[in-house]
């Protein structure tokens, strides 16, 4: 009797099990509270719940707030949470301690960064600012034309406040668009729709060579791949913490200010929390030293400390290993999609080249909204982006190769039907 012929499903499911067994990060899944039977591929919208968070939040509410009351600002370290948690995020994005402060939303931090960058450029004087030395004035704020819409809204408001003109530019065309009029450049590290990874080192170098300042949005890269803010000379950066950093819905964002800019950084939102002597209650504003001048008002302690507990999942984790697994996962998922899905039913809009890929796969298909709804009903959670994109985020700390295989197989079953 002849041996039964193996199917692509059999071969790929066996490979998935072997890859999971050899994966050095697979055990990290235990650090998360994931529902049974669910493949969660939407961590690029909302990260999964770290197992340590519920207990920590309960302690903050019942003991630190309920028993210690206002004493917790000192005794429980509430007051220093924004910079302390910033130092936990710093190694995940390649920053030294003292360069990141946590608080507010990404949008608020982006507003601080863009206005602050424009003021830094204006304050330089001499040849770098253009007009003062007889050159052209720096009047342009170049904005990633593919940016998340809110970034564009904030950029437009920041431009009105600082007298700049917004110039939308495709990231690939950015080097050619730079010139003596460029003041500030805003770019997303990873395109939220397609998962395309933009060249942070190269674009930052080009911006700085043009005499401008670079502001990067790290929402879709921090926690998924190495960023290298210090090493690559980034001026300012912002990011959320509820995606790959798993901080929880609406968890506070962060602001990175390069050390060389901290002494001159002039925030457009000077609050009492960023005052050099916050409890002096003086009528005149004197900014604190360092990245602390990025603080504004009273920190949102409950979500702040939930984030701190969530960041514990990164203990002992190498971001380079996370990146290697991310690429392997997305490669394997695309291989499974090609093997299972009927020809012509989906088109990947995520770059095939590793150097251009974040940690997600975006597939274009007809009736994408209905397809995603059915995927979720079958226990595979991704998300839909208008008008025709299925988006799957791969968080290497808790997503495995068997998850990728099951997601592709489930998608194929829906499209075949």
Residue 165, beta-bridge partner list = 140
Q: Clarify whether 217 is annotated catalytic.
A: yes
Find tokens 């055990």 and name the residue: 27
- Residue by residue, DSSP assigns 296-322 as -S---HHHHHHHHHHGGGGTT--HHHH
pLDDT at 127 over 50: no
Q: Clarify whether 391 is annotated catalytic.
A: yes
Confidence of residue 10 (pLDDT cuts 50, 70, 90): confident
Catalytic annotation, pick one of 112, 243, 293, 409: 243
Find the mean pLDDT for residues 382-400: 97
Contact 81, 64 (CB under 8 A): no
Catalytic annotation, pick one of 99, 196, 357, 391: 391
Going by the DSSP 8-state scheme, the letter that residue 313 receives in this structure is G
Across the chain, mean pLDDT equals 95
Residue 29: name the closest of 380, 396, 405, 406 by CA. 396
The topology (CATH level 3) of 58-314 is 3.40.640
Q: Using alpha carbons, list the distances in angstroms from residue 118 to 138, 141, 165, 270.
A: 9, 9, 11, 16
Q: Clarify whether 40 is annotated catalytic.
A: no
Question: Whole-model pTM?
Answer: 0.95
Domain locations in the chain as residue ranges: 8-31+317-416, 58-314
Residue 273: the pLDDT is 97
Confidence of residue 125 (pLDDT cuts 50, 70, 90): low
pLDDT tens digit sequence for 141-185:
999 999 999 999 999 999 999 999 999 999 999 999 999 999 999
Residue 8: the pLDDT is 72
Catalytic annotation, pick one of 111, 242, 244, 332: 242
Catalytic annotation, pick one of 217, 300, 383, 403: 217
pLDDT tens digit sequence for 19-59:
999 999 999 999 999 999 999 999 999 999 999 999 999 99
Residue 59: the pLDDT is 98
CA 242 – CA 39 distance, rounded (Å): 18
Confidence of residue 7 (pLDDT cuts 50, 70, 90): low
Catalytic annotation, pick one of 32, 40, 148, 332: 148
pLDDT tens digit sequence for 292-301:
999 999 999 9
Contact 84, 103 (CB under 8 A): no
pLDDT tens digit sequence for 303-345:
999 999 999 999 999 999 999 999 999 999 999 999 999 999 9
pLDDT at 5 over 50: no
Residue 9: the pLDDT is 80
- Run of H or E residues at 168: strand 165-169
pLDDT tens digit sequence for 181-217:
999 999 999 999 999 999 999 999 999 999 999 999 9
Residue 89: name the closest of 251, 245, 316, 232 by CA. 245
pLDDT tens digit sequence for 224-257:
999 999 999 999 999 999 999 999 999 999 999 9
Candidate CATH numbers 3.30.300.30, 3.40.50.10190, 3.90.1150.10, 3.40.50.720; the one for domain 8-31+317-416? 3.90.1150.10
Find the mean pLDDT for residues 81-86: 98
Q: Judge if 8-31+317-416 and 58-314 fold alike in CATH terms.
A: no
CA 352 – CA 330 distance, rounded (Å): 10
Residue 310: name the closest of 12, 85, 42 by CA. 85
């Amino acid at each position: 009797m002849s041996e039964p012929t193996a199917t692509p499903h059999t071969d790929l499911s066996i490979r998935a099990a072997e890859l999971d067994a050899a994966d050095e990060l697979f055990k990290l899944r235990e650090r998360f509270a994931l529902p049974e039977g669910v493949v969660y591929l939407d961590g690029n919208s909302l990260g999964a719940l770290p197992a340590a968070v519920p207990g920590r939040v309960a302690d903050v509410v019942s003991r630190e707030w309920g028993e210690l009351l206002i004493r917790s600002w000192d005794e429980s370290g509430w007051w220093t949470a924004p910079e302390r948690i910033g130092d936990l995020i710093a190694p995940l994005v390649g920053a030294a301690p003292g360069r990141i402060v946590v608080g507010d939303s990404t949008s608020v931090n982006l507003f601080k960064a863009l206005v602050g960058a424009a003021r830094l450029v204006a304050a330089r004087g001499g040849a770098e600012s253009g007009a003062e030395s007889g050159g052209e004035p720096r009047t342009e704020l170049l904005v990633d034309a593919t940016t998340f819409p809110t970034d564009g809204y904030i950029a437009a408001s920041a431009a009105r406040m600082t007298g700049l003109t917004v110039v939308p530019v495709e990231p690939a065309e950015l080097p050619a668009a730079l010139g003596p009029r460029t003041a500030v450049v805003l770019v997303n590290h990873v395109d939220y729709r397609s998962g395309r990874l933009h060249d942070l080192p190269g674009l930052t170098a080009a911006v700085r060579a043009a005499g401008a300042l670079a502001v990067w949005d790290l929402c879709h890269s921090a926690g998924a791949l190495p960023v290298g803010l210090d090493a690559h000379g980034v001026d300012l950066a912002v990011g959320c913490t509820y995606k790959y950093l798993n901080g929880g819905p609406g968890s506070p964002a962060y602001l990175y200010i390069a050390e060389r800019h901290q002494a001159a950084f002039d925030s457009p939102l000077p609050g009492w929390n960023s005052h050099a002597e916050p409890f002096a209650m003086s009528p005149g504003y004197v900014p604190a030293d360092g990245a602390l001048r990025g603080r504004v008002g009273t920190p949102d302690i409950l979500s702040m400390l939930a984030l701190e507990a969530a960041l514990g999942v990164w203990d002992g984790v190498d971001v380079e290993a996370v990146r290697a697994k991310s690429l392997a996962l997305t490669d394997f998922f695309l291989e499974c999609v090609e093997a299972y899905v009927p020809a012509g039913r989906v088109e990947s809009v995520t770059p095939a080249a590793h150097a251009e890929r974040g940690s997600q796969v975006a597939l274009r298909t007809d009736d994408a909204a209905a397809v995603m709804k059915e995927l979720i009903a079958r226990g595979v959670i991704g998300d839909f982006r208008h008008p025709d994109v299925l988006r799957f985020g791969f968080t290497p700390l808790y997503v495995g190769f068997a998850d990728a295989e099951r997601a592709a197989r489930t998608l194929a079953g829906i499209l075949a039907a």
